[in-house]
Amino acid sequence: MSSDQDHLKETDTEARFEFKKEQNAAVKSDKGLTEEVIRMISEDKDEPEWMLERRLRALKQYHNMPMPSDWPGMPDLSQLDVEEIIPYIRPDVDKREGVDDWTELPDEIKDTFDKLGIPEAEKNALSGVGAQYESEVVYQNMQEQWEEKGVIFMNMDRAVQEHPELVKEHFMTTCVPPSDNKFAALHGAVWSGGSFVYVPEGVTVEMPVQAYFRMNSEGMGQFEHTLIIAEEGSEVHYIEGCSAPKYGTHNLHSGGVEVFVGEDAHVQYSTVQNWSKNTFNLNTKRAICEENGTMEWVSGSMGSKATMLYPCTILKGRGATDTHITIAFAGEGQDIDTGAKVYHNAPDTSSTIESKSISKDGGRTNYRGLVHIADGAENSSTAVECDALMFDNESTSDTMPYMEIEESKVDVAHEATVGKIGDEDIFYLQSRGLDDDDAKKMIVAGFIEPITEELPIEYAVELNRLIELEMEGSLG
C-alpha cells in the first residue's frame, strides 16, 4: 500500500488541524466513497479477498440505489453529504484488534470512556465489554468462564480473520443484504469494527454482553457491524451504548446489526444511543428468528439530528416471538423517526410492540411501523401500542403504522394515543410540594418506566439521567 501510505501522511497532517481533541489517528481515509477508499480500508485490515469483494459489490449497489425520498414525512437528509464524510479512522492503538488490558489504552481514549462509566460497568462483574472508538474496537474483554463454554465475543474485524466460515455464511447474506436499502449498501462497503457474538447450542450467558461506541472526530462516519449468532437453545443479552460529542459539521452513523436467533434460543438486544445533535443516525438492524425463538429489542433513542431506525424481526419459524420496546426523545432541532418492523412468516408467531415518545422544544418524533402477516401465518397475533407525550406547541409527534394482513386467522391490534402532560397530574404533584420541573420529570420517569425496567440498572440509570438532562435543556 505504498501509494496509500503517501496520501495517509497528508491526511494525517490535516487531521491535526481538524480534530477538536488532540488525537493522533494511525490511519485515516480520504473523504467520500471511492473504490480506492474501500480498498484502503480492506487492506489496512488485512482482509481476505472475499470480504473485499463483498465491500466492492456493496459499493456498486450503493451507487446504483436512490436515496429514500418518497416516505411521507421522512426526516430531511438534504444536509447529509456522504461524499464529505470520512468513512474510516483508526486510532493510534498498538494492537489493531484491540487491547486486553484497559490500562494499556491511550489516555485520551481512556478518559472518554472513563467519563462514560464503561470501566465501572465492567468492574461491576459484567461479562464483557467491547469499546469502539471511531472505526476500531480498542478494548475487548470476555470473562474466561464464557470462553470455556465456547462463547465468542470479539471485535468484528478479528472475527473475519479468526472465524471466517461463520462470518462468510452470516455476514450480510440472508439477514441484511446490502441490497436492502441505500444505507445498508453504504454500510456493506465501508463497515468497520463492531461486535461478533457467537453462543453455542444450549449455552446461557447469564450476564449481559456489552459494547460501547464512541465517535470523537469531526465529520466522520461510524459504520460498526454487529453479528450475533445464538445457536439452538442458547440465551444471550447484548447491550450497546453509543455517543458522540457535538461538532459543527455533520457526522454519519450507519451501523448494521444482524441477529440469528436459533431454535428455542432467546436474544435480547438493548441500545441506549445518545449521538450528538449533528449526527445522522441511519441504521439497519434485523433479526431472523427460528422455531420458538425469542427476539427482544429494547431501545432508547436520544440524541442525533435525525434518526431513521426501524429494528426488524423476521419470525421465520413456527412459534417464534418478538418484542419491541422503544423510547424516543426529540428535543430542539431533532427528528427521531423510529419504529419497528415485524414479518410474521410462520404460523403461531406473536409480536408485541410498545413505543413511547417524548417531544419537546420543537423536536419531532415519529413512530413508523410495519407489521406484515404473510399468507399461511395462521394463529399469529400482534399488538402495537404507541404513546406520545408532547411538551409544547413547537413540537411534533406523528404515528404512521402500516399493517399488511394476508392471513385471516390472526389477531391484530394497533393503538396509539397522543397527549400533552396532564395539567391535573402536574397540579396534583405540585400540591404535594413538588415544583413544576420536578413534577414534569416525575411524570416522564413514570411514562418511560416500561423501558427502563427492561434494562440492567446501569443503563436504566443512564437513560434516566440523559432524559433528565434533556428536560433541563442543559445537554449540548
| Identity of the residue, 56 or 405, whose beta carbon is nearer to another protein in the bound complex | 405
Based on CB atoms, which residue is closest to another protein, 161 or 396?
396
Between 24 and 417, whose beta carbon lies closer to another protein? Answer: 417
What's the CA angle centered on 162, arms 157 and 165, to 5 degrees? 100
Q: Please, which residues bridge with residue 152 across strands?
A: 198
Which DSSP helix (H) or strand (E) runs through 37? Answer: helix 35-44
CB neighbour list of residue 144: distance below 8 Å, 6 or more residues apart: none
Say whether residue 418 binds another protein (CB under 8 A): yes
Count of H-run helices and E-run strands, the chain: 12, 26
Task: Please select the residue that binds another protein; options are 390, 429, 455, 460, rule is CB under 8 A.
Answer: 390
Count, residues near another protein per rule CB under 8 A: 38
DSSP string, 126-192: -SEEEEEETTEEEEEEE-HHHHHTT-EEEEHHHHHHH-HHHHHHHTTSSSS-GGG-HHHHHHHHH--
Q: Does 400 bind another protein (CB under 8 A)?
A: yes
Nearer to another protein, 126 or 389 (CB): 389
Residue 214: Cβ within 10 Å count: 21
The reply on whether position 419 binds another protein by CB under 8 A is: yes
CA 168 to chain centre: 22
State the binding string over 166-185 for another protein (x if CB under 8 A, else -).
---------------x----
Residue number with CB closer to another protein (73 or 333): 73
Query: In whole angstroms, how far apart are CA 57 and each of 60, 80, 181, 187, 378?
Result: 5, 23, 14, 12, 38
Conformational region of residue 256, where left means phi above 0, alpha means psi within -120 to 50, and beta covers everything else: beta
Pairing of strands 335-338, 306-309: parallel
**The only residue of 84, 92, 169, 404 in contact with another protein, by rule CB under 8 A:** 404
Q: Does 415 bind another protein (CB under 8 A)?
A: yes
Tell me: does residue 398 bind another protein (CB under 8 A): yes
Of the candidates 74, 207, 416, 445, which one interacts with another protein according to CB under 8 A?
Answer: 416
For the beta carbon of residue 442, count every other beta carbon within 10 angstroms: 15
Minimum CB–partner distance for residue 57 and another protein (Å) = 20
**Contact letters for another protein, residues 363-382 (x by CB under 8 A):** -------x----x--x----
Q: Please choose, out of 1-9, 210-218, 250-258, 394-402, the segment that lies near another protein by the rule CB under 8 A.
A: 394-402
Is position 413 an interface residue for another protein (rule: CB under 8 A)?
A: yes
Contact set for another protein, span 69-108 (CB under 8 A): 70, 72-73
Residues in a beta bridge with 54:
none
Q: Minimal distance in Å, beta carbon 178 to another protein?
A: 15
- 246 makes contact with another protein (CB under 8 A): no
**Nearer to another protein by C-beta: 118 or 386?**
386
Measured from the CB of residue 387, what is the shortest distance to another protein in angstroms? 9
Asked if 268 touches another protein (CB under 8 A), the answer is no
Among 99, 131, 388, 466, binds another protein (CB under 8 A): 388
What are the C-alpha distances in Å from 42 to residues 35, 140, 154, 191, 255? 11, 21, 18, 10, 17
Residues that bind another protein (CB under 8 A): 70, 72-73, 181, 370, 375, 378, 388, 390-393, 395-420
